[in-house]
Structure 1
Amino acid sequence: MSSTKTTTSTKKAAGRPVRRRKMRRLTGRDKLVLGLLVGIPLVIHLALVWFPAIASVFLSFTDWDGIGLDTIHGAGLSQYVQAFTNDPSFWPAVTNNVLWLLFLIAIPTPFGIFLAYQLDKKIRFSRFYQTAIFLPMVISLAVVGFIWQIFYQPDYGLLNSLLGTNNPGGTYLDWLGDPSLNLSAVLVAAGWRHTAYIMILYLAGLKSFDPTLREAAAIDGANERQTFFRITFPSLRPVNVIILVVTVLEGLRAFDLVYVMGGNTGSKQGLELLSILITNNIVGESGKVGYGSALAVILLIVSLVVIIPYLVQNFRKEQR
């Protein structure tokens, strides 16, 4: 009897049309909220990123002193020709940017990865070590510059005190004033901060790594070095791409440390950088907005040339 009722109810249910839930229409208030949530960040992004970038490209073909729009005059490619042929500071700045980038790739980045790999082993006081190493990232670059500026003081700085070169009548080592030493001194400060950045990025990637892969490699007889280079490092390819992009950007946009440690204008001999030249020409007393914009476009092109091919290659590998 019960089976008959069940069959009957099933047939009735099967004969009933399936009611679809009506989609809730957005009210005017919902549209307003969504518009504000999307529109405000979009407007800020366009105003602070895209508009200055497009304006820089346009102004790079002009000769403008930054005062009044009526003083903008077309200059064609003359600003770019001046950068490559007539500016004595341009090529030293390019060389220093390349040296900055190579230094970050060669020393702080591998060292940060090494520290992350060691701290991922859950050693004692690992939280304390993470905090101590990550401390430079908590404070601003300007503060880092002031700390190292005091460290490098020729008369009472810690480094000269340890070396004994700040005694009366002794030979002073002017770490930030000597063109043969100042770039190396600033790079040490930049490497100190960059190591902390890479360490925390790679440590976050290692936290998501499957530990069974290491165990399988150990069972197969692989030692720790082989496990890292053949298993761990290739498996963290997305993190490696992020680290490479961050390192390239840090090397090309270097500004704060040099500006603080190099003096008021950051234009000491030996510390020339493209970012410093851009700042001094656009917002400095020279009033060469067109030339500074041309330098900014050159820096943008160099950044894209370095980053885009590597990203495209990695994305193609992932798709395959």
Structure 2
Amino acid sequence: MSDLPLIQADRAVPSPAATTTATGGRGRRLRLLSRTDRVVVTLMVLVPLLLVVGLVWLPAVATVALSGTDWDGIGPLGDIEWVGARNYTDVVQNYPPFMPAVRNNMLWLAALFVVATPFGMFLAVLLDKELRATRFYQTALYLPVVLSLALIGFVWQLLYSRDQGLVNAVLGTDVDWYGDPDVNIWAVLLAAGWRHVGYVMLLYLAGLKGVDPSLREASAVDGASESRTFFSVIFPVMRPINIIVLVVTVIESLRAFDLVWVVNKGRNGLELLSALVTQNVVGEASRIGFGSALATIMLVVSLVFITVYLVTVMREGRR
């Protein structure tokens, strides 16, 4: 009877060999999982990196390189002739559509920045008050953002139709809104602004939801009005959102293409830099070098604002 506890204790204690085997098995499983995780993480980083390099950076570098050449894009690479800065000189001095395109892009930027952006911010402030049917209004205002600009062009083409359009029927006019070069840029800007308002509204609404409620309470205690509170307290706090909206607006004005291409392929009063690039690269008279020079100009302008945005974000991160 006295030996029974010792026998049970011996049975309860595993042998050193079994312990080593079990530990070794767990160690191998852990090492296997760790190796698998490394492979998964490597693929998750490498695949997007290759896609970005192959679809964004390599074409961008090739565009900058081709901007100094004279090539139609059809002949062999040996036919490429290096012309240096001649394409840039021809763009500025000997290409009549260039300056109208620059003016239209600046007008596009001004319309989005001065009209559409403040209106989107105003709608965000209203929706932030948790009005009745707020979700419905958010969905209705954001719906144009989901649609492509090409589809928006077709939708507004029905509204702007000279014979059966809603705009002429309401105003009692007979205007060719898309065909008249004196008014078509304004008609297109209204359609583009309609889409941009929903995007800005969503960005500012997200920013307003992240503002500390104590700031509003402190302003109310000090007797500040709602407008004074917004412009003096809330708006400065949303500085990162303001930078994002600024960069997005600039990029939207530069890459505007779908809408004018659907209307008349960027001609007859709707000249834009992006449309000129497409006309020269894949148009009837293909001039890869000349079109690449136009695209490089757009790239440089975009990089200025993107750099400003990145510097601002990094500074905010350090703080």
- Per the alignment, residue 70 of structure 2 pairs with 63
**TM-align CA RMSD:** 1.9
- Tell me the SS of whatever aligns to 1:146: helix
- Per the alignment, residue 52 of structure 2 pairs with 45
CA–CA distance in structure 2, aligned partners of residues 141 and 126 of structure 1: 26
Distance 1:313 1:136, change over 3 A: closer
CA–CA distance in structure 2, aligned partners of residues 66 and 82 of structure 1: 19
- Tell me the SS of whatever aligns to 1:51: helix
Q: Is the Cα–Cα contact under 8 Å of residues 65 and 71 in structure 1 kept in the other structure?
A: no
- TM-fit CA distance, 1:64: 0.7
Q: Is the Cα–Cα contact under 8 Å of residues 214 and 227 in structure 1 kept in the other structure?
A: yes
- Tell me the SS of whatever aligns to 2:136: helix
TM-score by length of 2: 0.86
Distance 1:38 1:312, change over 3 A: closer
Q: Is the Cα–Cα contact under 8 Å of residues 241 and 311 in structure 1 kept in the other structure?
A: no
| Residues matched between the structures, number | 290
* Counterpart code for 2:167: L
Map 1:263-282; keep pairs closer than 5 Å.
Answer: 263=264, 266-282=265-281
Deviations 1:277-307 (A, max 9, x none): 0011111121100000000000111122344
- TM-fit CA distance, 1:37: 1.5
Distance 1:144 1:225, change over 3 A: same
Map 1:1-320; keep pairs closer than 5 Å.
Answer: 25=31, 28-67=35-74, 68-165=76-173, 172-260=174-262, 262-263=263-264, 266-309=265-308, 312=311, 316=315
Q: Is the Cα–Cα contact under 8 Å of residues 60 and 293 in structure 1 kept in the other structure?
A: yes
**Range moving further from structure 2, 282-291 or 189-198:** 282-291
TM-score by length of 1: 0.86
* Counterpart code for 2:141: I
Gaps of 5+ in 1: 1-21, 166-171
* Counterpart code for 1:49: V
- Tell me the SS of whatever aligns to 2:96: coil
CA–CA distance in structure 1, aligned partners of residues 53 and 259 of structure 2: 28
Q: Is the Cα–Cα contact under 8 Å of residues 133 and 196 in structure 1 kept in the other structure?
A: yes
Deviations 1:45-89 (A, max 9, x none): 001100010000000010110113222111111100100000000
- TM-fit CA distance, 1:311: 5.3
Q: Is the Cα–Cα contact under 8 Å of residues 247 and 309 in structure 2 kept in the other structure?
A: no
- TM-fit CA distance, 1:319: 5.3
* Counterpart code for 2:279: N
* Counterpart code for 1:175: W
CA–CA distance in structure 1, aligned partners of residues 57 and 294 of structure 2: 17
Q: Is the Cα–Cα contact under 8 Å of residues 177 and 268 in structure 1 kept in the other structure?
A: no
* Counterpart code for 1:274: L
Q: Is the Cα–Cα contact under 8 Å of residues 179 and 269 in structure 1 kept in the other structure?
A: yes
Poorly superposed stretches of 4+, deviation over 2 Å: 24-35, 304-320
**Range moving further from structure 2, 266-275 or 299-308:** 299-308
- Higher-helix-fraction structure: 2
CA–CA distance in structure 2, aligned partners of residues 317 and 32 of structure 1: 33
- TM-fit CA distance, 1:25: 4.6
**Range moving further from structure 2, 147-156 or 300-309:** 300-309
- TM-fit CA distance, 1:114: 0.5
CA–CA distance in structure 1, aligned partners of residues 310 and 51 of structure 2: 27
